[in-house]
Structure 1
Amino acid sequence: VLRRAVRHGKLLGLDKPFLTEAADTVINLMRGHYTELGTQRDRIVEILSLEEKKFGQTLNTGLSLLTELLEHLRQRGQSTIPGEEAFKLYDTHGFPLELTQEIAAEQGFQVDVASFEQAMLRQQERSRAASTFTQVRDDQALADILKRVGPTEFLGYQGVTGSARVVGLVVDGEEVQSISAPQRALVILDATPFYAESGGQVGDQGTISGPMGVFQVADTQRPLKGLIVHYGEVSEGYTRVGDSVQSSVISQRREDIMRNHSATHLLHKALRDLLGPQTEQRGSLVEAERLRFDFTSARPLTPSELAQVDEQINRWIRANSPVHTSIMPLEEAMTTGAMALFGEKYDEQVRVVSMGDSRELCGGTHCAATGQIGLYITVQETSIAAGIRRIEALSGRGAEAYLRRRSAQVDALAAQVQTQPETLSERVGHLLQELSVARRQVAQFQREAAQRQAETLVESAQEVVGVPVVAATVSAPDDKVLREMGEMVRDKLGRPGVIVLAASYPDRVSLQVNVSPELTGRGLHAGKIAGAVGQRLGGKGGGRPEAAQGGGKNKAELGAALALVKKLVGDAIA
């Protein structure tokens, strides 16, 4: 939709970005009903502006190439754009197929969509093959290392640092003996404090420092059972197989992840207590910045229920219950009431994490006591599938930052409307009432002004082959009022006629064309009139036989453009 708007804006002569102005108009009109439009205004405008500028460049390049292609095909007497050519525009220049089809149709061409889809499929297969080839090579190299050195010892339950030895290095699917800056590689140690992504918890980040270099760990994964792999790049010097190294996880990030993970367990317990034991986990994501929890529920939670969940979790946090972990057989763990993730496969020996009344099978890292979570806040509850709901929440430092931002927003809004934060809601309610009254008064004034202009315009109607024609410049605050004015003049004429009204704005001229239904059968078409007049203004126009819109930027031609109307009417009827 945004890209189509950019293109049509260009057709109307809008060479500079304009979507942000349109967005401001929509935000101002709708923020009373959708408050998030106001609070997120800066982000909305920023995204629109970036998208418009980015696609504007794509559009200019694509239009130039497509114009050349259409001209070439026209010279050869062809009317179908080959799918390969359309795909080249899409794949190389980012020009969407829908836009190619739209522009082609306007010039009497069509696109071979079937061959476009075949080209797309071939590209996807090539991409998958390349990705699969690299992945297969990595997996084979890692399998050889696992077979040779055995599973990685995980030290992360005891802390965020540890000593180890480099037992394997992989670059582009091949085992190597050394890596140097700025190479990207996979590093395998005999022991590591880095947690590998699992059970919804993201992998750790940090550094592996050796005698001659430093490896920056961007992610930690377990691609093969038992093998923990560090993904990243050498930032200093070099690292060799056999080096003794010091591993260091980013401690604050790990602590934030632990808070969110422990909060996820409390959330699971709170939901089951509130909604019943039929509530089951269907997935989760535990990051440093936030937590996400998917669960079974046939209906959304009410605001009151969400408040109860938050209150219960924060009560458990304040209770500062110790977090216990124990290793036991799976069957024994299930008899203790420990909750298991639906569809997950577990080993015979499992790790059980308990905090208060919560007890779950879990291999992740956690706080030592619930009090370390600090604070919990539900941010959003939504549906992601039939019978599956999702809660997004914050804990610890993330929750504190969220509350500070919200408090600052409230203070800023209160200052803007000249009241105290405690009375902000009441003040906003009064302002909305005043605004509603003011809007009604403005709308009434605009209607009355439009009616007065309409009456004057009717008196100035000129006869063209027996048809009253009104072609004039009017004062209208926006296109909506301009359209209403066109309908007023048509209705006040008292007999079938043609109305063409032009309103001049700072950056353009807008046109409104109305043709009485009785005249469309005699050859008159509002869309064609709007197109001809808009073209004279350096723009375009179009629409239905009875009503159409158009416009352009060449204000100097406004008089001449309106003068065309009588000739257009005469030629059509004659």
Structure 2
Amino acid sequence: MTSSTPNSTNSLRATFLDYFGEQGHRIVPSASLVPQNDPTLLFTNAGMVPFKNVFTGQETRPYSRATTAQKVVRAGGKHNDLDNVGYTARHLTFFEMMGNFSFGDYFKAEAIEFAWTLLTRDFGLPKEKLLATVYAEDEEAAGLWRKIAGLPDDKIIRIATSDNFWRMGDTGPCGPCSEIFYDHGPEVFGGPPGSPDEDGDRFVEIWNLVFMQYFEDPPGTRTPLPRPSIDTGMGLERFAAVMQGKRDVYDTDTLRALIEASANTLNQDADGPLRASHRVVADHLRSSAFLIADGVLPAKDGRGYVLRRIMRRAMRHLQRLGAHEPVFYKLLPALIRQMGGAYPELVQHQALIAETMRGEEERFTALLERGMSLLNDETSRLGASEALPGDVAFKLYDTFGFPLDLTQDALREQGRTVDVSGFDAAMTEQRQRARAAWVGSGDTATETVWFDARDKFGPSEFLGYVSERSDAEVRMIARGNEILDHADAGQDVAVLLNQTPFYGESGGQVGDHGTLIAPGLRVEITDTQKRNGDMLVHYGRVVEGTLKPGMAVTAEVDHHRRQAVRGHHSATHLLHEALRRQLGTHVTQKGSLNAPDRLRFDVSQPRPITQDELAAVEAAVNARIRENTAVETRIMTPEKAVAEGAMALFGEKYGDEVRVVSMGLGDEERTAYSVELCGGTHVGRTGEIGPFRIVSENGVSAGVRRIEAVCGLAADRLTQEADARLARMADLLKSTVAEAPDRLAALVEERRNLERQVSELQRRLATGAAETGNETINGVTLAARDLGDVSPRELKGMAEAIGKQIGSGIVALVSSADGKGSVVIALTPDLTERFDAVALVREASAVMGGKGGGGRRDMAQAGGPDANAEAVFDMLRKTLSA
């Protein structure tokens, strides 16, 4: 990391935080760029955002004073500086907001004294170079500036507009502001704030102090807050420019180092004709790296789309600078040298950031070649400064994936614009065609509700890869095909949010459960499903309060359930690879279920998997789990993913880009043990999966085998249950668990010997009574025996032996083993022309309440629920007597 000179950006940040730390403030690390407490914000766009709920009283902290250096991105929504970046002296998409905060502790006097002392004593700014603005009605603040700072009245400027009155929203905390300006001197054009020339560069705002002292209600009425608070903000880059004697933030040390890195890499003059492109790259490098480090990845919608815009804008300027291959990621080390000491997440996620940047630039290069060729053809037909027709811009977007903002940026260099209204009209027409085609496909009316919602609200933003709890805004409530304006306690609902940590069922992974809560409201979510492709719909019941569209709610996933689900999902990846290595590469996934209590995995496999093979697979999976390696996720094209060894599922539909999940130590052939295309949620490290146990293996269809398995707590429960059964078995066997198998084997062998002895005794008993148990009817000998609890398996052998003893006749044997009747009828060879054993045994079965039997003409067997031997024998006697 870079060493810090007294006025370097790193030193200024440290001095600010240390100063307020000495004044009793808790030094709080920067929050994520993805807001966790405000569903209306795309990114954290101000230093106070992480403390918003503290100011409103919804949250308490163990401290009443805080100071931060907060990462901020303004590149979407109300605060969108993207198009100005690189072309002005002050606009940035990423910057650091220094701030000190009081939550009902100190107020105006202390805030003004802290600011004045830090600026003039610790930072050494000349007092005569500073002036302050106050809200016109805030005489208290004006008096404090005179008293504490000694500012004369001509340097305390009263502003009557809302520029100096801050509001959190239409309702909520609000109060007057006081801004501190630095005067660059009369040689620089510009006038003081509030003057006609205030937009000049002479007077630069360096700090804003917000005095939060009122609560504003909708009609505009204000009531004093019981505990007034302080919120301040100092843009670090803008302040660094002042401290380093610059009037342009891009000339400060950190940004200048990044500019020189791109200039050196591309052998270009940092201050030449393409100066603006270097500045765009420097700013966008910071935005991109910090967003990726905070879990945002390039996507087609939401935060991921803004990140993609930022990255591709930088890459477009890199190509203007002469780049013909991926360069963006090569600038990352320069950023880490400048900022990695203050923000260790850059170092921690360096590999992911670089991989994401490189992959995005490779995809963008291919897209740019296609799109720019068409764009150049179209513009060559236009007159000077003529706008590009909207339908052409839409064709670039729809056919080539060339987004509108990229087209606008490319045309900006030619002094052209785009007919945006024509673009919007073409987009609307396409949506109408898609809707007509969809409605004609036979989908239900219930699904039509979600088609309309997709058209109105766009896709849901899924936050669940990095968070299991977030604030969100309710966009729509439905029940069946009915859209509701509210839902009360006891009602079942389907809820659409603007963003959510809940995973919608797909790819074999079940949907998340959890809660939506707000003051006086609780909704229990029992399922989450994807609707119309990329909308995440939460199904559940309102258990308390009233749910309405537009409400802000906290969406929280059932953490323990999600943890169990993602453990089973990650285990499935390892299982898949272990099966392929054990059985062969013909093994591919044919279906799966990843639930909290188990996993089910169907694979192509022509024969049963042996116990030895299953044991080897289970051991291989557990070995990978014990390695406890990080599970890595990358974004790339499906083609590149497959080229790098990723497993793609046959029949699955993949978009232009996919998430590639890697886990386990690799070898000479692969970078990781398992590499698969997957959009599900996974553990952070393989060790989080816990123990893995295969429960069963069986066939489900021709050539498809099903494996059921458990891991984590479910595997622990399975082991505990098995141990309990073993202990019970050992207790019954009067042995230890270790001795139980040998003891059981001995008992099994002993039982077999006894069964053989019993069978032999029964045979002797049956055949030994041949003379006394026979009767002759019409010259035919009938040997009828009621053998009681003799196994039906023994009857045929006994009948054959008795037939040999009697020489000529019919043998009828009946048993009643296990409470069911069984009968065998056998004929000696000389009687098979006169009688049919199959016909006789079927009549016997009918007598026993059965439904027939079968066999040969000389011997047949049947059964029935009623083992009535005498009834069978009487039937035979009547047959012979006829």
Deviations 1:370-419 (A, max 9, x none): 22122223334555566655543322112222222222222222222233
Deviations 1:97-134 (A, max 9, x none): xxxxxxxxxxxxxxxxxxxxxxxxxxxxxxxxxxx999
Report if the CA contact (8 A) 1:450-1:476 is conserved.
Answer: no
Give the AA of the match of 1:174: E
In structure 1, list runs of 5 or more residues that go unmatched: 1-131
Give the AA of the match of 1:402: L
- Say if 2:627 is the partner of 1:316: no
Q: 2:805 aligns with which of 479, 492, 511?
A: 492
Report if the CA contact (8 A) 1:450-1:481 is conserved.
Answer: no
In structure 2, list runs of 5 or more residues that go unmatched: 1-439, 665-671
Q: 1:532: how far off? A: 6.8
Report if the CA contact (8 A) 1:513-1:526 is conserved.
Answer: yes
Q: 1:140: how far off? A: 0.8
Q: 1:364 aligns with which of 680, 687, 698?
A: 680
Partner of 2:881: 570
Partner of 2:731: 415
Kindly tell me: are residues 538 and 482 of structure 1, through their superposed partners in 2, closer, same or farther at Cα, counting changes over 3 Å? Answer: closer
Aligned residues: 432
Kindly tell me: are residues 138 and 477 of structure 1, through their superposed partners in 2, closer, same or farther at Cα, counting changes over 3 Å? Answer: same
For the residues of structure 2 that align with 1:530 and 1:302, how far apart are their CA atoms? 42
* SS in structure 2 at match of 1:569: helix
Partner of 2:530: 222
Q: 1:325: how far off? A: 3.0
- Say if 2:741 is the partner of 1:430: no
Report if the CA contact (8 A) 1:457-1:489 is conserved.
Answer: no
Q: 1:445 aligns with which of 757, 761, 777?
A: 761
Report if the CA contact (8 A) 1:534-1:552 is conserved.
Answer: no
Kindly tell me: are residues 471 and 269 of structure 1, through their superposed partners in 2, closer, same or farther at Cα, counting changes over 3 Å? Answer: closer
TM-score normalised to the size of structure 1? Answer: 0.64
Report if the CA contact (8 A) 2:848-2:872 is conserved.
Answer: no
Aligned runs of 1:173-184 on 2, under 5 Å?
A: 173-184=481-492
For the residues of structure 1 that align with 2:482 and 2:825, how far apart are their CA atoms? 70
Of all paired residues, the percent bearing the same amino acid is 38
Kindly tell me: are residues 262 and 563 of structure 1, through their superposed partners in 2, closer, same or farther at Cα, counting changes over 3 Å? Answer: closer
More helix by share: 1
* SS in structure 1 at match of 2:515: strand
| More moved, 208-217 vs 275-284 | 275-284
For the residues of structure 1 that align with 2:614 and 2:477, how far apart are their CA atoms? 48
Q: 1:499: how far off? A: 4.6
Q: 1:316: how far off? A: 3.0
Q: 2:781 aligns with which of 468, 473, 482?
A: 468
* SS in structure 1 at match of 2:769: helix
Kindly tell me: are residues 149 and 565 of structure 1, through their superposed partners in 2, closer, same or farther at Cα, counting changes over 3 Å? Answer: closer
Q: 1:261: how far off? A: 1.9
Give the AA of the match of 1:370: T
For the residues of structure 2 that align with 1:506 and 1:223, how far apart are their CA atoms? 55
Q: 1:475: how far off? A: 5.3
Report if the CA contact (8 A) 1:134-1:172 is conserved.
Answer: no
Report if the CA contact (8 A) 2:815-2:867 is conserved.
Answer: no
For the residues of structure 2 that align with 1:245 and 1:530, how far apart are their CA atoms? 75
Kindly tell me: are residues 549 and 273 of structure 1, through their superposed partners in 2, closer, same or farther at Cα, counting changes over 3 Å? Answer: closer
For the residues of structure 2 that align with 1:408 and 1:562, how far apart are their CA atoms? 51
Deviations 1:339-396 (A, max 9, x none): 4333333333433333342443322212222221222233345555666555433221
* SS in structure 2 at match of 1:231: strand
Report if the CA contact (8 A) 1:330-1:346 is conserved.
Answer: yes
Higher RCO, 1 or 2 (CA under 8 Å, sep at least 6)?
1
Report if the CA contact (8 A) 2:851-2:864 is conserved.
Answer: yes
* SS in structure 2 at match of 1:422: coil
* SS in structure 1 at match of 2:529: strand
For the residues of structure 2 that align with 1:277 and 1:520, how far apart are their CA atoms? 59
| More moved, 211-220 vs 382-391 | 382-391
Deviations 1:235-274 (A, max 9, x none): 4454332333222221111001111222233334445555
For the residues of structure 2 that align with 1:480 and 1:505, how far apart are their CA atoms? 10
Aligned runs of 1:175-574 on 2, under 5 Å?
A: 175-211=483-519, 213-271=521-579, 280-295=588-603, 303-330=611-638, 333=641, 336-356=644-664, 357=672, 358-382=674-698, 390-458=706-774, 461-462=775-776, 464-470=777-783, 477-481=790-794, 484-495=797-808, 497-500=809-812, 513-516=825-828, 518-519=830-831, 521-522=833-834, 524=835, 539=849, 546=858, 547=860, 549=862, 562=873, 565-571=876-882
Max radius of gyration: which structure? 2
Report if the CA contact (8 A) 2:512-2:562 is conserved.
Answer: yes
Partner of 1:169: 477
Report if the CA contact (8 A) 1:199-1:363 is conserved.
Answer: yes
Deviations 1:58-97 (A, max 9, x none): xxxxxxxxxxxxxxxxxxxxxxxxxxxxxxxxxxxxxxxx
Report if the CA contact (8 A) 2:766-2:785 is conserved.
Answer: no
TM-score normalised to the size of structure 2? Answer: 0.43
For the residues of structure 2 that align with 1:528 and 1:324, how far apart are their CA atoms? 72
Kindly tell me: are residues 201 and 503 of structure 1, through their superposed partners in 2, closer, same or farther at Cα, counting changes over 3 Å? Answer: closer
Kindly tell me: are residues 153 and 140 of structure 1, through their superposed partners in 2, closer, same or farther at Cα, counting changes over 3 Å? Answer: same
Give the AA of the match of 1:446: Q
Kindly tell me: are residues 395 and 491 of structure 1, through their superposed partners in 2, closer, same or farther at Cα, counting changes over 3 Å? Answer: same
Report if the CA contact (8 A) 1:135-1:173 is conserved.
Answer: no
Kindly tell me: are residues 520 and 349 of structure 1, through their superposed partners in 2, closer, same or farther at Cα, counting changes over 3 Å? Answer: closer
For the residues of structure 2 that align with 1:392 and 1:506, how far apart are their CA atoms? 34
Kindly tell me: are residues 293 and 515 of structure 1, through their superposed partners in 2, closer, same or farther at Cα, counting changes over 3 Å? Answer: closer
For the residues of structure 1 that align with 2:680 and 2:695, how far apart are their CA atoms? 23
Q: 1:148: how far off? A: 1.0
For the residues of structure 1 that align with 2:638 and 2:749, how far apart are their CA atoms? 63
For the residues of structure 2 that align with 1:538 and 1:280, how far apart are their CA atoms? 52
For the residues of structure 1 that align with 2:536 and 2:455, how far apart are their CA atoms? 13
